[in-house]
Amino acid sequence: MNAPQTFEFTQGDSPLLVSMPHVGEQVPSEILANFTQRGQALPDTDWYVHRLYDFLPSLGVSSIQANYSRYLIDLNRSPDNKSLYPGQNVTQICTTSLFDNQPLYVAGTEPSAADIAQRTTQYWQPYHQKVEEELARIKQRFGYALLWDAHSIKNIVPRFFDGQLPDFNWGNANHRASSAELLNSLHETVLAQGDYSSVCNGRFKGGYITRQYGSPEHHIHAVQLELSQITYMPDQNSFEYSEQRAAQVKPLIKKLVQQMISHPFTRD
């Protein structure tokens, strides 16, 4: 049975589900006590992504967003902890380090295998069960289903990439999770707008959610957008929300969501 507080879900009447697995900020107090002081600030959260997408109900888009922090368990990682990017630096399903490679846990308090299994059952499984259920419902109604996995990240993270990240980072697992035409059309819309940089299947090709559920041959198209936080936050190290910057990028995000909804797809 789903634990009702592990995520927030809103059902729409369009063929699209937007997933926000890294916006959660809750951590059980007994686990938070084991975090370092820096870890307790949850610096690697996808800050304010839910605010950027607050227009979704007006478009009839279904949405699901995590309530618990990615530091508790990462909903965008495989339950077997298989690396999404073999040979590259990545974080685990229950990470023990921050993005800057500093420890998340006070030494000796890292989660055990039993802890990870318990968190997977209590927090990971309900979220994914709901994603599966909603995609199945959408596909039954429309003959196809669409999934947009919404993320954000600092524009400079040396652990994961060199230099500065482009503003819009699109991924569909090298076109295995959605049609190439869909991804390219979203990318081209960003470039045509003129204010932001964009890349397809660069450093971020889509995480577990995109790869697990995207299946064009079964009429389920999934894309991931990893948005640079500098597009809506004042600087690299601020946890603040810039109304001015957000007001510029939000209309473009809304246009892109509308474009995905209206993109022509083959139905069963």
Q: Could you tell me the pTM of the whole model?
A: 0.94
Q: Which of helix, strand or coil describes residue 36?
A: coil
Q: How many CA atoms lie within 13 A of 267 on its CB side?
A: 9
What one-character-per-residue DSSP string does 216-236 give?
A: GGGTEEEEEEEEEGGGTSSST
The pLDDT assigned to 268 comes to 44
More confident residue, 258 or 5: 258
The pLDDT assigned to 162 comes to 81
Q: Which domains does the chain have, with CATH numbers?
A: 7-262 (3.40.630.40)
162: left (phi over 0), alpha (psi -120 to 50) or beta: beta
Least confident of 38-47, 90-99, 199-208, 214-223: 90-99
Q: Which residue matches tokens 């259920």?
A: 133
Is residue 171 within 8 A of residue 205, CB to CB? The reply is yes
Q: How confident is the model at residue 85 (pLDDT cuts 50, 70, 90)?
A: very low
Q: Which of helix, strand or coil describes residue 61?
A: coil
pLDDT per residue as tens digits for the range 227-268: 999 999 998 788 899 999 999 999 999 999 999 999 987 554
Alpha-carbon span 59 to 82, nearest angstrom? 35
Is residue 152 within 8 A of residue 227, CB to CB? The reply is yes
Element (DSSP H or E) covering residue 20: strand 16-20
